[in-house]
């Protein structure tokens, strides 16, 4: 049986790599939900084309979901690089969602603050570091991808890295800096600001070296977490982990139950109000799901 790696997805058709050669691939069955990072079983058609027959078991699958649908993003990744920037329109809930998604899959996240050349970045960096580094211990790398990404480089090595972030934060610019022959299309800020359109339309996997990959994917507006379980949600927040067992009720959902250790932590300013609001909103959403 021939195996290949999915390196680009167009939704219904794919580019698959076998050793160092790429082929156009389509799924032979109705099942077409393959994604970049998948190892697939193939049937050769000719020198340039293959059929996908099936899927090798995934180590993990990054996907987002809302009430109506879910969307797969990439599989078999070992590290998630969450790219944020003060411009065009930073959304803190988006950052929280990406972190919770990484925690839920047990994948190491790194936060990259891009566009540090912009003057607005100074106070933005302070705010992000104050909470996400000093209190939550996440790893942060600050850079201006227009100049260089040297500081990020050592963290990428030996990993399959997924770059995720809102549209226009600079994921493709970073990709091009790291892998000069990637030639990923990048877009003007004004375009993504006004039309909300994405410059990158397909997820693509690039090789940095034999055991290091970078996946650039289209920007996301929202990172829905509708697939998570309400009962384990709080454990995905590092600042809640040691508190959960201290709540009066074992099934406490940290909404308005008496003697909730998480609510107390927020009152004592040990947990950030913003993170707690995010936890509550998500809890309520996931709770409603169960009553259908």
Ligand X SMILES: Nc1nc2c(ncn2[C@@H]2O[C@H](COP(=O)(O)OP(=O)(O)OP(=O)(O)O)[C@@H](O)[C@H]2O)c(=O)[nH]1
Using CB under 6 A as the binding rule, whether residue 149 contacts ligand X is answered as no
User: How far is it, in rounded angstroms, from Cα 20 to Cα 17?
Assistant: 6
Q: Which stretch binds ligand X (CB under 6 A): 61-69, 142-150, 237-245, 255-263?
A: 142-150
Q: In the complex, which residue's CB is closest to ligand X?
A: 219
* Least Å from the CB of residue 88 to Mg ion: 13
User: How far is it, in rounded angstroms, from Cα 71 to Cα 224?
Assistant: 9
Site string for Zn ion, 255-274 (x = CB under 5 A): -----x-x------------
Q: Which stretch binds ligand X (CB under 6 A): 3-11, 49-57, 195-203, 271-279?
A: 195-203
Identify the residue among 97, 114, 159, 204 touching ligand X (CB under 6 A): 114
Q: Which is nearer to ligand X, 7 or 169 (CB)?
A: 169
* Least Å from the CB of residue 185 to Mg ion: 7
Q: Binders of Mg ion among 185-224, rule CB under 5 A?
A: 199-200
Using CB under 5 A as the binding rule, whether residue 172 contacts Mg ion is answered as yes
* Least Å from the CB of residue 289 to ligand X: 28
Using CB under 6 A as the binding rule, whether residue 89 contacts ligand X is answered as no
Which of Zn ion, Mg ion, ligand X, none does residue 167 bind (CB under 5 to 8 Å by kind)? ligand X
Identify the residue among 24, 141, 218, 264 touching ligand X (CB under 6 A): 218
**Contact positions vs ligand X (CB under 6 A):** 114-115, 117-118, 144-146, 165, 167-173, 186-189, 192, 198-200, 218-219
**Contact positions vs Mg ion (CB under 5 A):** 171-172, 199-200
């Amino acid at each position: 049986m021939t195996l290949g790696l999915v390196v680009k997805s167009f939704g219904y058709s794919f580019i698959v790599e076998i050793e160092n050669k790429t082929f156009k691939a389509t799924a032979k069955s109705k099942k077409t939900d393959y994604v970049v990072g998948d190892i697939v079983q193939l049937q050769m058609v000719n020198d340039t084309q293959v059929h996908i027959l099936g899927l090798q078991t995934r180590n993990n699958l990054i996907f987002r979901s809302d009430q109506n649908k879910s969307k797969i993003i990439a599989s078999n990744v070992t590290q998630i690089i969450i790219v944020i920037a003060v411009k065009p329109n930073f959304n803190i809930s988006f950052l929280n969602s990406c972190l919770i998604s990484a925690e839920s899959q047990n994948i190491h996240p790194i936060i990259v603050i891009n566009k540090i050349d912009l003057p607005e970045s100074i106070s933005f960096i302070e705010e992000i570091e104050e909470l996400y580094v000093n209190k939550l211990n996440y790893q942060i790398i600050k850079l201006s991808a227009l100049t260089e990404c040297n500081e990020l480089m050592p963290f990428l090595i030996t990993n399959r890295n997924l770059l995720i972030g809102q549209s226009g934060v600079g994921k493709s610019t970073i990709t091009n800096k790291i892998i000069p022959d990637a030639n990923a299309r990048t877009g003007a800020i004004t375009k993504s600001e006004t039309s909300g359109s994405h410059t990158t339309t397909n997820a693509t996997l690039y090789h940095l070296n034999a055991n290091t990959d970078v996946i650039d994917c289209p920007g996301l507006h929202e990172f829905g977490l509708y697939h998570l379980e309400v009962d384990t949600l709080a454990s995905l927040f590092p600042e809640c982990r040691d508190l959960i067992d201290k709540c009066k009720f074992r099934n406490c959902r940290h909404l308005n139950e008496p003697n909730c250790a998480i609510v107390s932590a927020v009152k004592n300013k040990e947990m950030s109000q913003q993170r707690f609001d995010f936890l509550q909103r998500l809890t309520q959403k996931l709770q409603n799901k169960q009553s259908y």
